Amino acid sequence: MQYLVAFLVLVGLAAAVLFVVNRPQLVVIDAPIPADFPADGFSHRTFERLLSRFVNAAGDVDYASWQSSAESLAELEGYLAAVSFYSPESTPGRFENRNAELAYWMYAYNAYVIKSVLDHWPIESVTDVKAPLEAIKGLGFFYRLRYSFGGDYLSLMTVENQKIRQRYQDPRIHFVLSCASESCPIVRPDLPYDDDLDELLTAAAVDFVANPANVAVDHEGRQIVMSRIFKWYKRDFVNFSRLHGLPGSTSAVDYVRKIAPQPLANELARAEDYDVIYRDYDWSLNAAN
């Protein structure tokens, strides 16, 4: 008993030290909301224009050109000033439905990811942005940095897990949220927020699984090789499958089989008893050359 108490005390002290050393770092947006921002609703058009300017056909971001353009940096700050002031929680009247709310959280998340890369430019990976005590890879970028969403300073990790995953329970969000890394979903310049949002989510999911870098069948090795995203968020994919016609689902593969386009669907049909292998995650920056 004495040793257990001592162990718990040490664990508590270690946690306290970790928290103090890695105390949150607030990212303050020191810019006015654009004068032409609408009086009602929430507009993502500025961010959409910036993405169209700096994202190539492969979905990679030209951070170098963006960072060297004072005008474009100011435009991003203006968009994030609106994100900082408005949110579905602080100003619910601006968000007329579920799609408008979900679009806000997803696009604001992606915008803050890009801002943080630009703030720390040049870097080769988001994992280069480290906390003083980096106990977990990505802790500095995804947890220590805190961004304003309608006045609440939140980490990217909190936004993803609490504001998006728990609230909307739609696994397709994992194919739109981008962590600025090669193994992440591509950045998509089109930012619908009304009825077209469902079409975007579906297209993003299909495009992701259709990419052999994310899902591939190795018949010789009798393996299905998948993105590590399907391992990290397995529960999301399994729960969704169970709620939509696959009550016995136990694997993310069931979800992929349900949405896979041809010829991948045929390949998966031949791989019923194959082992599932997850690729190592490539944290290299998704920067356009």
pLDDT tens by residue, 34-88? 999 999 999 999 999 999 999 999 999 999 999 999 999 999 999 999 999 999 9
Rounded to 10 deg, the angle between the 196-210 and 98-119 helix axes is 50
| Contact partners, residue 165, CB within 8 Å, separation at least 6 | 173, 233, 236
Taking residue 248's Cβ as centre, other Cβ atoms within 10 Å add up to: 7
Helix residue ranges, H only, the chain: 2-21, 45-54, 63-67, 70-85, 98-119, 139, 156-158, 166-168, 196-210, 229-232, 234-243, 252-259, 264-269
The pLDDT value recorded for residue 160 is 98
Domain ranges of the chain: 25-194, 208-278
Counting as low any pLDDT under 50, the low residues of the chain are 4-19
The pLDDT value recorded for residue 4 is 47
The pLDDT value recorded for residue 73 is 98
The pLDDT value recorded for residue 59 is 97
CA angle in degrees (0–180, nearest 5) for 264-266-267? 65
pTM above 0.85, yes or no: yes
